[in-house]
Structure 1
């Protein structure tokens, strides 16, 4: 793992571990705003309250009575590839994520829609809020991590209350005993160490709901208010290089390059273009078909590289025909979120 912080633990997956369709538990990225909480699964209970007809308090045994569902889904931190934005202009106080704040797993658990149906959602409810057990000092005063999604997303069949990851019990580092999985949306909405679900008329006022918002370049994040940015939800189309890795020494001539592309929400990647001459000419990469709308897709292409210094560029298109913007400079923002600029990789080739 490429560890950025020990406490709270923040570490990204190394490129070699991202080439597989499913990421191992040991290599799955970790993004935290507080120390990992210690939870006694025996005494743990999940509260379901707010605008519901029947408030619930559920143990793990209660949850396991719901039909188990499984979804293979990619999770991605909103700050993935922030390091490219930091090269444009510094972003103080933020983790300099490379392309590895993303991983894919097979998740199993109860469908959130089934649990909400048991509680009986009232007609005035429009958002579903989640609260974890991890208390962050980043908020003032300190606050439990949380977030919310619209009711329509929360009741979609792919959204889970997961107790299993890659066929094993959910590890404490990834949210045990229970976490939310909201496929296609930023990882911050897949709240870990879940202990409360609330049906609300409006989005939650939790600090991290608006902390994860896209601010205009001119706004100071230290004084930004809730209305100054756009709250982040679905992930924008983007791609990244995995091989060769940054700093690799290459030999001129035919060379295979590869990477991943990801289109959030229920979109898929339609095409990936790769250039060996800084974007003057492009070729279509071979693109793996999507396993489902909720996972990344890997791509590869063979480029003829000349000797000397150069720059490779990759750009992806999604199923709505949205394409990545050309340069990280065009998407720079003061929190470093949602970098969906084309991927650039400096290379050096010997003759």
Structure 2
């Protein structure tokens, strides 16, 4: 057996700066600063921008978005400088080590790794064995969790040599499973390029009650599938019986429209990570959006397929998506059957988003919409629905999207004992002013503050409190509800809010908000008691820092 030698000369290449976006960004900042000075006499920075018209705002946001897009597109480089004084192996040699008996070797980019001792510890289970004796590049490219320095450091501990130059070239020609992704607007803050996960700038999130589909946050776990609408079929499985529906079949059923907010379980994770590091995409407070979804009720679809809603063995409704990895394992989730089968259920088989076909990033042609429940159960590209006695076996139902107490670690977490996240807790966030921005107070020493508030389970928002003195005094915000009537049976969408907030003397102010829902649930003050290793359900008071301008700043 070859002696394991760690390659000490392995280094990460430094990131390159994209000069053009940097220049655009600086230009936008200069333009924004100038406009502030010219509008000093206006009530606030926000009002001055609005009075100047929409076009400059769009231009500014577009420039900002372009910068952020290129900034985030610069993925951490995982190309390594070739290690010196270690053995070189060919792909054929690596292929001979494909079992625990022979040793389990893999290659990644220019490195060769003996992972025999690591296989049992792999969080993804035995899927890693699919790459035994070969390259793990295409598998790693599917999952953003691998693209971090911490994971690369773990892999490097098992490095035994270099891959031959000839075989390195052949690996570079591997098909990219993300080659056919849809176009995205550059305004997004990109948290992961492959798979694509991104959120809009917080300051534009609540400009309208309904989130435009172009600005709706994107949470993808796998490559976006390309679906032929003519060939598409939705399969309903009830015991041994299977019924398939075409899109035309679904269009012939009675439709309803439900306006609901969808939120990622990791929304506001970056705040939790600032308190103590967590594992997961670094979502800000914009991994949330509200849209109108239209289609037949799931209950009606299931009944038309022959389901007895009172059958005692039907306890869960499972959903399978068409987004799959290279092994054929696809995204899936499930919800308790009571959510779907009650007579007033608003769970729908959606074919429309904001009165148009659902965009590819959001589940075209069919997405299951489960109002009031975590986004992970709102399965995109749904092609199979199963009435079952048990939950989905999907990884994302069984081994992810679960919440643990602050003292639980990856080593002690028992996923079999924790229930899957379904309804989400009450939350709120400030969308204006921007964090760490400068703003002018009015003559009455107030500043305009806006944001959103939402609670899962159809619980309405009854109050939003905002403070500028650490919670010693509070100002109640004006609430803005859904201006349009639809078929919803409960308060599924968010509540927008605004307030003119009094500020005291001094230039630096911390603004915080908290929401109260119809069950009188309130947000916790701090992150500490709700911290968890995955950074889920981050809903403490939302806080921003602002700097107040005064007349002495004028020319």
| Fold shared, TM-score > 0.5 on shorter chain | yes
Q: Shorter-chain TM-score category?
A: over 0.9
Using the alignment, how far apart are the partners of 1:185 and 1:316 within structure 2? Answer: 18
- Which has the higher Rg, Structure 1 or Structure 2? 2
Report the counterpart of residue 304 of structure 1 in structure 2: 502
Identify if the C-alpha distance between structure 1 residues 106 and 222 changes in structure 2 by more than 3 Å, giving closer, same or farther: farther
Using the alignment, how far apart are the partners of 1:179 and 1:7 within structure 2? Answer: 21
In the TM superposition, residue 110 of structure 1 has moved relative to its aligned partner by 1.3
Secondary structure of 1:230's partner? coil
Identify if the C-alpha distance between structure 1 residues 142 and 343 changes in structure 2 by more than 3 Å, giving closer, same or farther: farther
Q: Does the 8 A contact of 1:19 with 1:298 survive in 2?
A: no
Report the counterpart of residue 294 of structure 2 in structure 1: 108
User: Is 2:548 aligned against 1:349?
Assistant: yes
Give the TM-score normalised by the residue count of structure 2.
Answer: 0.60
Identify if the C-alpha distance between structure 1 residues 344 and 142 changes in structure 2 by more than 3 Å, giving closer, same or farther: farther
In the TM superposition, residue 336 of structure 1 has moved relative to its aligned partner by 0.6
Report the counterpart of residue 85 of structure 1 in structure 2: 272
In the TM superposition, residue 296 of structure 1 has moved relative to its aligned partner by 0.2
Report the counterpart of residue 179 of structure 1 in structure 2: 367
User: Is 2:473 aligned against 1:281?
Assistant: yes
Using the alignment, how far apart are the partners of 1:318 and 1:105 within structure 2? Answer: 20
Give the TM-score normalised by the residue count of structure 1.
Answer: 0.94
Report the counterpart of residue 294 of structure 1 in structure 2: 492
Using the alignment, how far apart are the partners of 1:18 and 1:159 within structure 2? Answer: 25
Secondary structure of 1:90's partner? coil
Secondary structure of 1:213's partner? coil
Partner of residue 120 from structure 1, selected from 285, 288, 306 = 306
Secondary structure of 1:117's partner? helix
Identify if the C-alpha distance between structure 1 residues 103 and 260 changes in structure 2 by more than 3 Å, giving closer, same or farther: same
In the TM superposition, residue 220 of structure 1 has moved relative to its aligned partner by 2.6
Using the alignment, how far apart are the partners of 2:231 and 2:216 within structure 1? Answer: 28
User: Is 2:152 aligned against 1:152?
Assistant: no
Q: Does the 8 A contact of 1:13 with 1:103 survive in 2?
A: no
Deviates more, 1:278-287 or 1:260-269: 278-287
User: Is 2:228 aligned against 1:45?
Assistant: no
| Unaligned ranges ≥5, structure 2 | 1-187, 484-489, 551-555
Using the alignment, how far apart are the partners of 1:230 and 1:314 within structure 2? Answer: 29
Structure (1/2) with the larger helix percentage: 2
Using the alignment, how far apart are the partners of 2:374 and 2:314 within structure 1? Answer: 22
Higher RCO (C-alpha 8 Å, min separation 6): 1
Q: Does the 8 A contact of 1:37 with 1:133 survive in 2?
A: yes
**Pairwise CA RMSD of aligned residues?**
1.7
Deviates more, 1:233-242 or 1:152-161: 152-161
Kindly report structure 1 stretches of 4+ aligned residues shifted beyond 6 Å. Answer: none
Using the alignment, how far apart are the partners of 1:216 and 1:286 within structure 2? Answer: 35
